[in-house]
Amino acid sequence: MKFTILGAGSSYTPELLDEMIVRRESLPIDELVLYDIDEKRLEIMTGFCRRYSQKRGFQVSIRGTMDLDDALYGAAFVDTQIRVGGNRQRVKDEKIPLKFGLIGQETTGAGGMMKAFRTIPVMLEVARQMEKSSPDGWIINYTNPAGLVTEALTRYTKANVAGFCSGGIFPKMWAKESMGISYERVQYDYIGLNHLNFISHITIDGRPVTEEEFELLARTNHDVGVEIQKLLGCLTSPYLQYYYKTQQRVEELKVKPQTRGEYVQDLEKIVFAGYADPENADIPQELYKRGGGGYSEVAMNFVNAVYNNLDTEMVVNVPNQGAVPFLPPEGVVEINCLVNRRGMSPLHKSYIPAPCWGLISEVKNYEMLAVEAAVEGSVTKMKQALLAHPLVREYSVVEKLVPELLEGSREYLPQFHLEKGQL
């Protein structure tokens, strides 16, 4: 089996390799191809992954390439984790909205939209090449904002795409942390969009959680807080903090000495020094300060379900197709699916917590407009998307914000045909 990682210069790549090693008996991966456009990071990561595998007795061919067709040709699975413009652009996504009193965050709100604008054209190129080079292969998309990227790929290409986020297993992680319960004992209904979802009907060993157990889980999701989740009657994505504590978070972000992107830039210097050490064959401990844990486990769960045709319930970003009755069929949602060799089958949602309907609809409205704006290079749809977004919405702010956002990412937005002096 050929497995390819696009954006292999990411500091997270060794976690994927580690998960492959754990599953070596059930997933016979014999070729691992690492692709990146940053030659130095690719060289460092290729060398480290070879040392890491050798130390653990994992017999796999590992090579790096900067040729996209070479990376994709014949690949059974392609994990995508690219960041167009790197963390330098992420910092702009965080800082520009804050100037206007808005949440500055890499996947949510105006900043998340700009990440989508830079990323979607590149990912469409990948998917269209995948149609030619490996039409039966699967793209496992972890590139953020995962929901918007997955929607663009499913609406505008015929490639096989599954969109993922580690958030789908967060309730299991919270149960393990707060109660010492193994993942397989915890089930739940999961409804919403990437980084905007709600978890209800939580059971342990098939029985509903008690009020005390619910509170333990809610307290573990400390970014949102127990009182908000008790009021809603369900658990939420940690990203709901930006919707339910908006002003508080804006003020906190304004006074922080560094944005999250600046912190990650500093941290990655230490992490990559560890990867570059020719005597080192272990993942630097500093990596675990980055967050984002669990994504490699989810990715390889999908590979296992598809490759071995094992019926597996997973949370996936997929076209709605009627699963959530009040959303358009082509809009991508993040929900429970049955996964096997046939792909993903969304599970219909007969129950959706009442306090969540409106917010899900609003943000889906924004997402669909933002995807169209990214593909068409439409400033009009960009403005419409921001007007639809509950974290922006103010017309006078949108008119001032849009030129700054476009200027900040000018070199990565060829679809907008931004001539000098146009903005």
Helix, strand or coil, per DSSP, at residue 166 = helix
Known catalytic residues are 239
Cβ atoms of 199 and 353 within 8 Å: the answer is: no
> What is the C-alpha separation between 309 and 294, in angstroms, rounded?
22
> What is the C-alpha separation between 170 and 69, in angstroms, rounded?
35
Q: At what angle do helices 395-408 and 379-388 cross, to 10 degrees?
A: 130
For tokens 């990412």, the residue is 409
- H/E element holding 338? strand 332-340
Written as one string, the DSSP assignment of 14-32 is HHHHHHHHHTTTT----EE
- Per-residue CA distances from 46 to 63, 110, 291 (Å): 6, 35, 23
How crowded is residue 292: how many other Cβ atoms within 10 Å of its Cβ?
Answer: 16
Q: Which two tokens stand for residue 386?
A: 């921001």
Left, alpha or beta for 235 (phi > 0: left; psi -120 to 50: alpha)? beta
